[in-house]
Amino acid sequence: MASDKKFEPTNPTVKWVEDRLPIFGLLYSSLGAGYNAPRNLNYWWNFGVLAGFMLVVQIVTGIVLVMHYVPDVNLAFDSVQHIRRDVNYGWLLQAVHANGASMFFIVVYIHILRGFYFGSYKAPREILWFLGIIIYLLMMATGFMGYVLPWGQMSFWGAKVITNLFGAFDFIPFIGDGIVEWLWGGFAVGQPTLNRFFSLHYLLPFVLVGVVILHIWALHIPGSTNPLGIDANGPYDKIPFHPYYTAKDAFGLGVFIIFFAAFVFYIPDFLGHPDNYIKANPLVTPEHIVPEWYYLPFYAILRAIPDKLLGVVAMFSSILILFAMPWLDGSRVRSMRFRPLSKFFFWLFVVNGIFLGYLGQRSPDDVLALGVTALVYAQFATTFYFAYFLVIMPLVSRMETTKPVPTSIAAAVLEANKKG
Amino acid sequence: MTTHDDVVEERRNFLYIATGAAGVVAAGAAVWPLIDQMNPSKDVLALSSIEIDLNNIPEGQSAVFLWRGNPVFVRHRTPEEIARAEADDNAPDLIDPERDEDRVQRPEWLIMSGVCTHLGCVPLDQQGDFGGWFCPCHGSHYDISGRIRKGPAPLNLPIVEYTFLDDSTVKIG
């Protein structure tokens, strides 16, 4: 961007390095005073930084946990207990890592919904959006494989159910028949499965780092969106990332760490499942298999359709459909602040998503309010989930009368200041 | 008319395609070991078998054995259960129609996989709407012949390979 300041080091050592490898300049123009961001970013723009922070936390705690963990079906469960009880600060590191996965998903879900609400997926940020979806899919794979490693009952049966999903593709010639055994390395989830999950659980976070770098790169081409959804034009619309947003993000980070710490220190097992404190037993299925909370809405979609293949297809589609959003939404206005009808349906979508999550942890035959089973509610909620993308979004975005959009960010900010 | 240049170009195109094809084959050959290493290894494939003493399973009871990492159900069926299974041979709600007599070598012994054909949970014995098995994970009901009658599972519980060594011993695998 033309208005962005160039990096001009005064320190001779920095200058010497910069002339040979312009790495300080890269940091300066990506995260420092050389990157200008819209002046009106609110706290919803904090969550990308929080997600990046959580990725670092998970990698750092994960690397030290591996120094004590044993990927062996007979020893894995006990080695996690060993970490929790015997290893110095193991209780802390294990709690940070296990709760960290949930924290990572919380901030990423808010980050994604921020994108929904403020139209961050719209041109010219489609590739930025795609990279975000890829990050999310990688996170789901990594989180799932990580949950298997403690080798408790939920680890084992979760692994069995999720890998069996791929059995739905047995109609594919040549590869279909053996695909599940290929994933397992045997005739059931066992030692080979644990070993490969461990290998990939260690690898994927570093792949995530790579995709995150691409995500930030793609972000810096058009720059951040903003709550008004209009393009930042002149220098009056922008302020340097450092110190303005480094300070704002640091404050948000502090608040977030307090929230995170409350889980780690006071309720470290709150988000876990009691069955996972029982060692894996291939002969006994737990009463009720539930995935971690962050997969529940998709689990509800899977179970809503009483056909194995179609259920699996619906579950995968429910995430892949995000790739089509830049085209499903035909509105010329990005921010839902100026799209009242879209905004209404957005909140309905959020409530529906939470409801799906609730249904995902109930048994399908449970009778809920009005004498209707969880299964039937899940079918309605799944229908709404897909209708939101395939019917509501294309129609409402193209037919809605939007409110007047301000002429510039600076004008809108000054107007708001005048009102006090 | 074919000129000298055309011949050269044709020959060059042929070389491009041949080189590219050889490269693809070589890449495939290099990648295959990386993919195939994930398939079950020889020790896993080496067919293990287990022998079961049927004297320990009284009539009207089931036992569960671990075979190749998966549960196998052995049920000693009562005459009423056999009659019920055969009576249901033509039931309209059979999702994967199969006759009971095709699922057993001796009607009193039902020996089959204990892995739900939906997503791999272990169904619970003597539960569900059909007096057989019920999978608690996603609500599949199997009858007393192990046939899927209701729920998301697509297939009957598979019959495992077994042979009667004598009247009271059966070998699985």
Supply the residues of A annotated as catalytic. 220, 224, 248-249, 292
Residue A307 in contact with partner chain B when CB distance is under 8 A: yes
Using a CB-CB distance cutoff of 8 angstroms, which residues of chain A are in contact with residue B74?
none
Task: Write down the pTM of the prediction.
Answer: 0.87
- As a whole number of angstroms, the distance between CA A342 and CA B67 comes to 55
Q: Model confidence over A16-71: pLDDT tens digits?
A: 999 999 999 888 888 888 888 999 999 999 999 999 999 999 999 999 999 999 99
pLDDT number for residue A3:
46
Say yes or no for a CB contact (<8 Å) between B71 and A282: yes
The residue to which tokens 């011949």 are assigned: B7
* Candidate from A176-180, A194-198, A334-338, B7-11 with smallest mean pLDDT: A176-180
Task: Please indicate, yes or no, whether residues A290 and A312 belong to a single structural domain of this protein.
Answer: yes
Amino acid (one-letter) located at A318:
S
CA of A311: which chain B residue's CA is closest? B152
> How many angstroms separate the CA atoms of A413 and A270, rounded?
42
- Asked if B150 and B138 count as a contact pair (C-beta separation under 8 A), the reply is no
Task: Say if the Cβ atoms of B69 and A189 lie within 8 Å.
Answer: yes
A306 interaction partners in chain B (CB closer than 8 Å)? 151-152
Q: Which two tokens stand for residue A285?
A: 């299925």
Classify strands B140-143 and B131-135 as parallel, antiparallel or unpaired. Answer: antiparallel
Residues of chain A found within 8 Å of residue B137, distances taken between Cβ atoms: 157, 161, 285, 288-289
CA-closest candidate to residue A58, choices A194, A212, A280: A212
B47 close to B162: Cβ distance less than 8 angstroms = no
**Mean pLDDT across the stretch A380-405?**
95
Helix (H) or strand (E) holding B148: strand B148-150
**What is the total count of domains within chain A?**
2
Do residue A304 and residue A171 come from a single domain?
yes
User: Where residue A307 falls among pLDDT bands split at 50, 70, 90?
Assistant: confident
| Distance (Å, whole) CA A371 – CA A80 | 43
In B, what residues contact A, Cβ < 8 A?
Answer: 38-41, 44, 64, 66, 68-71, 115, 118-122, 124, 135-139, 151-154
> Residue with structure tokens 């793609």?
A218
Are B95 and B154 spatial neighbours (Cβ–Cβ below 8 Å)?
A: yes
Q: In whole angstroms, give the CA distance from residue A345 to residue A244.
A: 34
Which tokens hold the place of A40?
């009106």
pLDDT band at B89 (very low <50, low <70, confident <90, very high): confident
Q: Report how far residue A308's alpha carbon sits from residue A257's, in angstroms, rounded to the nearest whole number.
A: 41
Identify whether residues A13 and A127 lie together within a single domain.
Answer: no
The answer to whether residues A298 and A397 belong to one domain is yes
CATH of the domain at A175: 1.20.810.10
Q: Which two tokens stand for residue A72?
A: 């062996």
**Residue bearing the bigger pLDDT, A134 or A408:** A134
Are A377 and A404 in a shared domain?
A: yes
Mean pLDDT over each residue of chain A, to the nearest integer: 92
Helix (H, G, I), strand (E, B) or coil at A149: coil
Of B44, B122, B136, the CB nearest to A186: B44
Q: Whole-angstrom Cα distance, residue A348 to residue B20?
A: 53
Per DSSP (E only), the strands in A39-175 are none
- Which whole number is the average pLDDT over A105-120? 97
Query: Is B141 noted as a catalytic residue in this protein?
Result: no
- Residue of chain A nearest B64, judged by CA positions: A283
Q: What is the structure's pLDDT at A1?
A: 41
Determine the Cα–Cα distance for residues A323 and A404; give it in Å rounded to an integer. Answer: 29
The span from the CA of A199 to the CA of A142, in Å, is 11
Judged against a pLDDT cut of 80, whether residue A400 lies above it is answered with yes
Asked if pLDDT for residue A324 goes beyond 90, the answer is: yes
pLDDT band of residue B125 (cuts 50, 70, 90) is confident
Which residue has 């709404």 as its token pair? A384
- Write out chain A residues lying below 8 Å of B120, CB-based: 160-161, 163-164, 167
Side-chain-facing half-sphere of A355: CA atoms under 13 Å: 20
Contacts (Cβ under 8 Å, ≥6 apart) of A83: A65, A68, A69, A90, A91, A93, A94
Q: A142 with A98, same domain?
A: yes
Q: How far apart are CA A218 and CA A127, in angstroms?
A: 7
Tell the burial category of B59 from Cβ atoms under 10 Å away from its Cβ (0-12, 13-18, 19+): exposed
Average pLDDT over residues A209-213: 97
**Residues in CB range of B102: below 8 A, 6 or more apart:** none
Whether residues A93 and A9 fall in one domain: no
| Closest-CA residue to B102 (of B115, B114, B85) | B85
Give chain B positions within 8 Å (CB) of A196. 38
Contact B39 A364 (CB under 8 A): no
Cα-based torsion angle of the residue sequence A55, A56, A57, A63 in order, rounded to the nearest 10 degrees: 110
In total, the C-beta contacts within 8 angstroms joining chain A to chain B are: 89
Partner B contacted by A362 (CB < 8 A): no
Does the pLDDT of residue B164 top 50, yes or no? yes
Mean pLDDT across A115-125: 95
Rounded distance between C-alpha atoms, residue A352 and residue A362, angstroms: 15
Nearest Cβ partner for B68 among A161, A187, A289? A187
Q: Are residues A229 and A272 in the same domain?
A: yes
Residue B49 main-chain phi, psi, to 5 deg? -135, 155
pLDDT of residue B47: 66
pLDDT of A109 over the 90 cut: yes
User: ipTM of this complex > 0.85?
Assistant: no
Q: Is the pLDDT of residue A138 over 60?
A: yes
pLDDT tens digit sequence for A275-295: 999 999 988 888 788 899 999
Sign (positive or negative) of CA dihedral A234, A240, A245, A247 = negative
User: Taking Cα atoms as reference points, which of B171, B170, B160, B169 lies closest to residue B70?
Assistant: B160
Q: Which of A182, A288, A309 sits opposite B136 (nearest CB)?
A: A288
- Of A146, A152, A141, A164, nearest in space to A73 by CA: A152
How is residue A125 written in tokens? 């940020």
Hey, is B70 helix, strand or coil?
A: strand
Q: Taking residues A139-161, report their average pLDDT.
A: 94
Region A310-333: mean pLDDT is 94
Is the minimum CB–CB distance between A308 and chain B shorter than 8 Å?
yes
Q: Is the pLDDT of residue B154 over 90?
A: no
Same domain, A155 and A203: yes
* Residue A321 and residue A366 in one domain: yes
Q: What is the pLDDT of residue A420?
A: 64
Contact A182 B152 (CB under 8 A): no
Domain span holding position A240: 35-419
How close B81 comes to chain A (CA, Å)? 24
Same-domain status, A52 and A18: no
Distance from CA of A309 to the nearest CA of B (A): 9
Positive or negative torsion for Cα B120, A106, A338, A236: negative
- Binding-face residues of A in 74-103 toward B, CB within 8 A: none
Residue among A209, A200, A101, A216 nearest A159 (CA): A200
**A307:B152 CB<8 A:** yes
Same domain, A67 and A17: no
Mean residue pLDDT across chain B: 87
**A102 pLDDT tier (thresholds 50, 70, 90):** very high
How far is residue B21 CA from its own chain's centroid?
A: 38
